[in-house]
Chains A and B, each alone.
Chain A
Amino acid sequence: MSLASAGTDRLRGMRIDLKTAGPLVALILLCVLGYSLNPLFLAEGNVSNLLTRSAFIGIIAVGATFVITAGGIDLSVGSMAAFIAGMMIIVMNWAVESMGVSVGTVLLGIGCSLILGIGAGFINGFLTTKGKIEAFIVTLGTMGIYRSLITYFANGGTLSLDSDARQIYRPIYYDSLLGIPIPVWVFIVVALIGWVLMNRTAFGRYCMAIGSSEHVARYSAIKVDRVRTITYILQGLCVSLATIIYVPRLGSASSATGVLWELEAIAAVIIGGTVLKGGYGRIGGTVIGALILTAIGNILNLTEIISNYLNGAVQGVIIIAAVYLQRGSFRAGRKKTPAQ
């Protein structure tokens, strides 16, 4: 420490700044591009719509940031969301039939969602830690299970929420508080809590430690299995919250609900600068990643240059480019390392 050399410090500092600011710069460029293609992009209605849409993926991605930082992966989130949505609708419809419609119906649905989300997360966590099965395999399995369960309960079709219950539930998606849509509020709160958890608590530090080296974590008196399981439970909780604000949007769930959400969530995490192998997580980056992904789709919708059908392709290019840039800066860092 006493040997600090100002020159190298400054160089290093700039490199890190560029790296952390990268996703933000990309988002700003994207906004400038969107505005220049169609000024409607920054109109109040569109911005609020964009933020609301990004809330689903964003909330799930905040959970995924913890799972990935701790060296895991959860592929089941999309199917889990569809399954939870279906179960919520079934429970609420049942409640309407037997007890009539009230605010309690919706609260019951929300409670059901929270229990299922936490439970599903616990199952993923338990199987990966105590069952010692690769997270990729466990969540690939649960992904298939939830997807086929929703198809089964919907009898291959669509589950629709009772229209009276939907009237009561509607405001959770469509209303605003202080001019900001409620889903965006939920997103903001989830992201803030996530940021504090990741950066200001021992739990966040443990996630990064486990992701960088499980051995070191274990030898450092960290309860690796417990921390890992909690990351999956957090992920389940985030899926549950996203589903709670998603259900009133359409009031229905089918086997097509939440398809590919897992990949969008993982993409948002990675674009944001979290390392896929684990060990380094950035909640702020994840939020920006979710915004970038939604903004791409939105811009394509507003312009005629590229077909909206190519949304996935553009997202794919952005994801690969983001990871390439991360890799590039890592390699540069290694080259500068003086031996001995």
Chain B
Amino acid sequence: MSEATPDGAILSASRVSKSFGEIPVLFSIDFDVRPGEVHAIIGENGAGKSTLIKILSGFEQPTSGSIIYDGDRAVLPPNGEAEARGIVLIHQELNLAEHLSVTDSIFLGRELHRYGLLDLKTMRERARAILDRLDVRVDPDARISSLSVADKQMVEIAKAINRDARVLIMDEPTAVLSVAETKTLFEQIRRLTEQGVAIVFISHKLDEIMALANRVTVLRDGQLIATMNTSALTPDSIAQMMVGRELSNLYPPKKEPDVDAPVVLSVRGLSAPGISNVSFDLRGGEILGFAGLIGSGRTAVAEAVVGLVVPEEGEISLNGQPVAFSDVRESLAAGLAYMTKDRKGRGLLLNMGLEPNLTLATLPKHRRGGFLTASSEHQALERAVRRFDIRARDPSVGVGQLSGGNQQKLLLAKCMESDPDIVIMDEPTRGIDVGTKQQIYHIIAALAAEGKSVIVISSEMQEVIGLSHRVLVMREGRMAGLLEGAEINEAEIMRYAAGVKQGEVS
């Protein structure tokens, strides 16, 4: 079954191992990709995916083993030579200078000159040609900062094409894309493979891999588990290989909340920048899902409710009492917590350790006579590590070095430190592995079972469907529909989210 023969491969790794100091992260991996194919790499966080692609693109050197490119053993130094030879890595956090224009970005580092000056005209024309070829409607003169994430990704791809990429390596390109944007990206990828480009693709989303990849390589704990043709696999079998155990109950069973549970949060006619006239109720012990495309205003609703943004209009009441928060501190004190989707930019202080991050929002709890007590903070961390299964080699090391899954669990722990009655979780499982997702789903379900109320904002439809008692679908800043019971299915949500169907609630 395994495809060990690198026949016709353009880039391959042979028995590659890698250790950081004394810690081994990859054990004797064989990997190859052929022109015109999409080869997906999948594995839990920490399985070694990122390290493998960094070795393939020259950013890291293997401790042992070799890289064969174009039939020759190759040493790819981390100075961009790999890119010059046609191996381009598109990072998960896109590497674009926000203030440059699209043309500038595409030609960055390989500017065209004429008489010693920049040849702006030709560069703009070529950029336009590449964008047209990709069928991307982006103005070559637009600033990067004005583009959506999806368009930025297209610019990265255009940049790769301009470098005559023969191997394109993409690290979780769809993590921040909506369903429609993902579809466009896949069209581009198929177009590139038709032209003979080899694609290496990391994703956590099994359905995407089934739809796009020709072959799949599964890594677990730095070991190569298997490389197989996608046609021989099912999402379940991939997931099983990834975690090495059955994942029968990814979503915990739903426990219906009491019908006569009191309404704990009620929002009426809420308008704020990006949203207008949003109304909903949240009951005790309920999980309310917020579905919709990226940019449909779900985050804006959450931020207006907790006081990060001042609403323009509308009423919010908590346990029947009208409230108007102008500050997160007030909403937190009232038992309402918001967990941001941007864990790196807004959730955690990446250069600080676990403890200061965990207690940052609730420091007053750890004060005695005006001074912080280290022991109290320490106990809080011990509790959180146990409750949320946070794994860190050294709790004092900057949390930026933790894996995405552990960062997310820490963020969740931080959010729960204030012991809120209502939690709004924005993309609680973005970019983390299946095993950790499952843990987080069980934590969410347990919270609801305790009688807490949870709002789950998610772009992963399966997640909203698997967790929520009711689902509110948003579109272009308005409520498109509210689904209950059997109505909660993918097709129905999509109809509202894409505007095919307009709900009675508006």
* B340 lies within 8 A of chain A by Cβ: yes
The complex places the Cα of A280 from the Cα of B414 at a distance, in Å, of 21
Q: Which of A180-234 contact B (CB under 8 A)?
A: 196, 200-202, 205-206, 208-209, 212-213, 215-223
Contact A338 B20 (CB under 8 A): yes
**Which of chain B's residues have a CB closer than 8 A to the CB of A212?**
349-352
Of chain B, the residue at the smallest CB distance from A9 is B394
**Which of chain B's residues have a CB closer than 8 A to the CB of A2?**
391
Complex partner residue of A200 from B47, B345, B346, B371, CB under 8 angstroms = B371
**Which of chain B's residues have a CB closer than 8 A to the CB of A213?**
345-346, 349-350
Contact A280 B393 (CB under 8 A): no
Please list the residues of chain B having a beta carbon within 8 angstroms of any beta carbon in chain A: 20-23, 25, 45-51, 54, 60, 308, 327-329, 332, 338, 340, 342, 345-352, 356, 360-361, 363-364, 367, 370-372, 385, 391-395, 397, 401, 403, 414
Contact A221 B372 (CB under 8 A): no
Of chain B, the residue at the smallest CB distance from A333 is B398
Contact A339 B372 (CB under 8 A): no
**Which of chain B's residues have a CB closer than 8 A to the CB of A130?**
none
**Which of chain B's residues have a CB closer than 8 A to the CB of A206?**
363
Q: Which of A2-24 contact B (CB under 8 A)?
A: 2-5, 7-9, 12
Contact B23 A338 (CB under 8 A): yes
The complex places the Cα of A126 from the Cα of B49 at a distance, in Å, of 48
The complex places the Cα of A5 from the Cα of B45 at a distance, in Å, of 20
Complex partner residue of B372 from A201, A280, A340, CB under 8 angstroms = A201
Smallest Cβ distance from A180 to chain B, in angstroms? Answer: 27
Contact B22 A340 (CB under 8 A): no
Contact B385 A339 (CB under 8 A): no
By size class, the interface of chain A is 35 or more
The complex places the Cα of A254 from the Cα of B391 at a distance, in Å, of 60
Please list the residues of chain A having a beta carbon within 8 angstroms of any beta carbon in chain B: 1-5, 7-9, 12, 196, 200-202, 205-206, 208-209, 212-213, 215-223, 279-280, 336-340
The complex places the Cα of A279 from the Cα of B340 at a distance, in Å, of 21
Of chain B, the residue at the smallest CB distance from A340 is B50
**Which of chain B's residues have a CB closer than 8 A to the CB of A219?**
308, 328, 338, 340, 346-347
Add 5 more A-B contacts to A4-B393, A208-B356, A339-B50 (CB < 8 A): A3-B393, A202-B372, A209-B360, A212-B351, A213-B350
**Which of chain B's residues have a CB closer than 8 A to the CB of A218?**
308, 328, 346
Complex partner residue of B401 from A4, A205, A337, CB under 8 angstroms = A337
What 7 A-B pairs are tightest by C-beta distance, nearest first?
A338-B20, A202-B363, A220-B361, A221-B328, A221-B329, A220-B360, A215-B346
Of chain A, the residue at the smallest CB distance from B45 is A340
Of chain B, the residue at the smallest CB distance from A199 is B372
The complex places the Cα of A7 from the Cα of B364 at a distance, in Å, of 36
Contact A216 B348 (CB under 8 A): yes
Smallest Cβ distance from A128 to chain B, in angstroms? Answer: 19
Complex partner residue of A8 from B21, B332, B345, B385, CB under 8 angstroms = B21
Contact B25 A338 (CB under 8 A): yes
Smallest Cβ distance from A333 to chain B, in angstroms? Answer: 9
Smallest Cβ distance from A192 to chain B, in angstroms? Answer: 13
Contact A340 B49 (CB under 8 A): yes
Question: Which residue among A5, A208, A212, A338 has the maximum number of chain B CB atoms within 10 Å of its CB?
Answer: A338
Contact A340 B394 (CB under 8 A): no
**Which of chain A's residues have a CB closer than 8 A to the CB of B401?**
337-338
The complex places the Cα of A12 from the Cα of B21 at a distance, in Å, of 12
Smallest Cβ distance from B171 to chain A, in angstroms? Answer: 11
